[in-house]
């Protein structure tokens, strides 16, 4: 099983990648680690005519502490996020969650930006981006713009990154003094979460849900309850409030609703 | 279109023009004639195609050959030298009967090699966690875990040359 034919362009800088995107428009797709895109291409769910490989742009792989936030380059591989001492100290929820993406081989190749741009409601990292209220930095033909986490995930497998734009950096507010928990329920070690959640509270409460809608979503009702000082039990039963989880081979909607409450309860008990 | 690449595989440089859609696993098997790396699920689940790319375990069915351009790959053929002893991991699989049908074995050997480079004496839990991405269709995990434990306990292996009896 190999992808359909495509033209291959190697970008050596973010500017060059944006310029190539401008040239090829919606015929082109950005290739980072390839662990979301290549499986889609092999299954013919994606058939880009042009692949723009950004894998060699070293400038896009970094983890830097900058005052009250930590900036992570879009091309930073999950493995580096998982092992970063700066993230373990200031953003333990992100470092911990990155260590639960796929399996070790996947984490050696997959990148944080690639995972976020794929916009899959079943993937782990979007929940952290939502829970921590991260800001996403996007480069385009007219320069840089910033998008808040809540405005980033727009539709199923769709994000705010336009056809001629490139996600370059994610800015995470530090979790100083906050408690956190990540919960993921799946049947086999490397599977996608049937349901999961990323939670932080203590300062700014945030609850990002995995596989509880057509996009990565925030559990807004539960967050509001957490903020107002409700008990863990009162917050947990609101996990699925206002959300519309999917039904599929891994679980019916009702099952996911129940599971989300159980997992949020566990997360709160752990924080 | 084709794209010129140079990949160092097991220390030997391979320079050629490839169709950009060529997967690394097919490059290794068909262009380099190194068929020890297996195509299993072909969907980055089973890990049978695991090789080391710049020393890190990756699933070569989900890496394009062009993505490995100017980089170093080690396959199962690169573990023991042709007339040298097995590596501790290979000897461990022999001592502890770590393989049944053999389909997952080269991937297990490479994932185990990557693990022992990172953690010299892993716990059983660390071994199991590190093998999350490798499936054994014979479900022979107990012996695979024991094989890697054997390798960790015998970092020098046993100096038996391939073809000789121990």
CB proximity list for B125: less than 8 A, separation 6 or greater: none
Chain segment B22-81, per-residue pLDDT in tens: 999 999 999 999 999 999 999 999 999 999 999 999 999 999 999 999 999 999 999 998
In a domain, B164, yes or no: no
Q: What is the pLDDT of residue B82?
A: 81
- Please answer yes or no on whether A104 and B62 come within 8 Å at the CB atom: no
Residue B158: is its pLDDT beyond 90?
no
What is the pLDDT of chain A when averaged over all its residues? 96
Question: Interior CA angle at A121 toward A244 and A101, to 5°?
Answer: 140
- Please answer yes or no on whether B19 and A103 come within 8 Å at the CB atom: no
Rounded-to-integer distance, Cα B76 and Cα A7, Å: 31
List the single best residue of B133, B134, B135, B148 to mutate versus A (max A Cβ within 10 A). B133
Of B43, B78, B113, the position where a domain reaches its end is B78
Asked if B18 and B1 touch (Cβ cutoff 8 Å), the reply is: no
Rounded-to-integer distance, Cα A116 and Cα A112, Å: 6
Helix, strand or coil, per DSSP, at residue A30: strand
Q: What is the pLDDT averaged over residues A158-173?
A: 97
ipTM of the shown complex:
0.94
Q: How many domains does chain B have?
A: 2
Q: Does B22 touch chain A (CB under 8 A)?
A: yes
Closest to A82 (Cα-Cα) out of A64, A66, A65, A63: A63
Q: Which domain does B113 fall in, by range?
A: 88-153
CB contacts of B56 in chain A (<8 Å) are 79, 108
Q: What is the pLDDT of residue A180?
A: 97
Q: What is the pLDDT of residue A112?
A: 98
Q: What's the full length of chain B, in residues?
A: 166
Domain check: are B51 and B70 in the same one?
yes
Instruction: Give whole-number Cα distances, B92 to A80, A82, A158, B82, B83, in Å.
Output: 30, 29, 47, 18, 18
Q: Break chain A into its structural domains and give their ranges.
A: 7-53, 58-173, 179-270
The fold adopted by the segment(s) A58-173 is 3.30.465
Asked if B102 and B79 touch (Cβ cutoff 8 Å), the reply is: no
Confidence of residue A25 (pLDDT cuts 50, 70, 90): confident
CA closest to A36 among chain B residues: B62
Which CATH number among 3.40.718.10, 3.40.50.2030, 3.30.390.50, 3.40.50.300 corresponds to the domain A179-270? 3.30.390.50
Q: Does B43 touch chain A (CB under 8 A)?
A: yes
Domain check: are B53 and B12 in the same one?
yes
Q: What is the pLDDT of residue A263?
A: 98
Of B31, B48, B78, the position where a domain reaches its end is B78
Domain check: are B72 and B9 in the same one?
yes
- Please answer yes or no on whether A35 and B20 come within 8 Å at the CB atom: no
| Helix ranges, chain B (H) | 24-26, 88-95, 105-118, 124-130, 141-153
CA closest to B50 among chain A residues: A105
CB contacts of A35 in chain B (<8 Å) are 44, 62
Q: What is the pLDDT of residue B81?
A: 83
CA closest to B26 among chain A residues: A2
For residue B49, give both structure tokens: 């195609």
Confidence of residue A198 (pLDDT cuts 50, 70, 90): very high
Chain segment B113-136, per-residue pLDDT in tens: 999 999 999 999 999 999 999 999
Q: What is the pLDDT averaged over residues A84-104?
A: 97
Helix and strand tally (H, E) in chain B? 5, 5
Closest to B75 (Cα-Cα) out of B115, B24, B129, B134: B24
Residue A8 is nearest to which of B23, B66, B133, comparing CB atoms? B66
In a domain, B106, yes or no: yes
In a domain, B158, yes or no: no
Around Cβ B138, how many Cβ atoms within 10 Å? 13
Residue A66: is its pLDDT beyond 70?
yes
Domain check: are B55 and B30 in the same one?
yes
Domain check: are B45 and B13 in the same one?
yes
Closest to B111 (Cα-Cα) out of B145, B162, B159: B145
Asked if A62 and A137 touch (Cβ cutoff 8 Å), the reply is: no
Domain check: are B94 and B60 in the same one?
no
Chain segment A225-238, per-residue pLDDT in tens: 999 999 999 999 99
Domain harbouring B61, CATH code: 3.10.20.30
Chain segment A228-269, per-residue pLDDT in tens: 999 999 999 999 999 999 999 999 999 999 999 999 999 999
Residue A33: is its pLDDT beyond 80?
yes
Q: Residue A264: beta bridge partners?
A: none
- The second-level CATH assignment, the architecture, of A7-53 is 2-Layer Sandwich (3.30)
In a domain, B83, yes or no: no
Q: What is the pLDDT averaged over residues A138-155?
A: 97
Domain check: are B145 and B92 in the same one?
yes
Give the gyration radius of chain B's Cα atoms. Answer: 16
Of B54, B78, B102, the position where a domain reaches its end is B78
Residue A34 is nearest to which of B1, B62, B129, comparing CB atoms? B62
Residue B166: is its pLDDT beyond 60?
no
Q: What is the pLDDT averaged over residues A139-156?
A: 97
Q: What is the pLDDT of residue B1?
A: 85
């Amino acid at each position: 099983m190999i992808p359909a034919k495509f033209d291959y362009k190697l970008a050596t800088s973010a500017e060059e990648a944006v310029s190539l995107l401008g040239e090829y428009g919606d015929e082109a797709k950005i290739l980072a680690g390839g662990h979301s895109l290549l499986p889609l291409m092999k299954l013919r769910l994606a058939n880009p005519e042009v692949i723009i490989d950004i894998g060699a742009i070293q400038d896009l792989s970094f983890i830097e502490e900058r005052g009250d936030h930590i900036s992570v380059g879009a091309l930073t591989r999950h493995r580096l996020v998982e092992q970063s001492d700066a993230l373990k100290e200031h953003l333990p929820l992100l470092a911990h969650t990155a260590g639960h993406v796929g399996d070790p081989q996947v984490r050696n190749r997959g990148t944080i930006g690639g995972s976020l741009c794929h916009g899959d409601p079943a993937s782990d990292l979007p929940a952290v981006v939502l829970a921590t209220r991260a800001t996403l930095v996007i480069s385009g033909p007219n320069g840089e713009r910033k998008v808040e986490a809540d405005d980033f995930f727009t539709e199923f497998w769709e994000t705010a990154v336009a056809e001629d734009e490139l996600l370059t950096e994610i800015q995470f507010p530090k979790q100083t003094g906050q408690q956190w928990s990540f919960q993921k329920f799946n049947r086999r070690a490397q599977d996608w979460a049937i349901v999961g959640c990323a939670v932080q509270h203590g300062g700014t409460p945030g609850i990002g849900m995995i596989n509880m809608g057509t996009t990565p979503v925030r559990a807004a009702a539960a967050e509001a309850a957490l903020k107002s000082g409700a008990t863990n039990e009162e917050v947990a039963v609101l996990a699925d409030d206002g959300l519309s989880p999917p039904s599929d081979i891994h679980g019916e909607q009702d099952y996911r609703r129940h599971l989300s409450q159980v997992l949020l309860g566990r997360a709160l008990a752990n924080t | 279109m084709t794209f010129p690449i140079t990949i160092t595989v097991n220390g030997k440089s391979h320079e050629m023009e490839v169709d950009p859609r060529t997967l690394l696993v097919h490059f290794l098997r068909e262009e380099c004639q190194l068929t020890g790396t297996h195509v299993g699920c072909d969907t980055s689940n089973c890990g049978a195609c695991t090789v080391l790319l710049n020393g890190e375990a990756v699933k070569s069915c989900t890496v394009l050959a062009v993505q490995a351009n100017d980089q170093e790959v080690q396959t199962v053929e690169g573990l023991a030298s042709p007339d040298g002893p097995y590596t501790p991991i290979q000897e461990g699989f022999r001592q502890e009967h770590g393989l049944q049908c053999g389909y997952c074995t080269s991937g297990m050997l490479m994932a185990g090699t990557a693990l022992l480079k990172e953690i010299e004496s892993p716990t059983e839990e660390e071994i199991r966690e590190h093998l999350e991405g490798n499936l054994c269709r014979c479900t022979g995990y107990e012996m695979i875990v024991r094989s890697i434990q054997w390798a960790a306990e015998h970092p020098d292996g046993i100096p038996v040359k391939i073809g000789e009896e121990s």
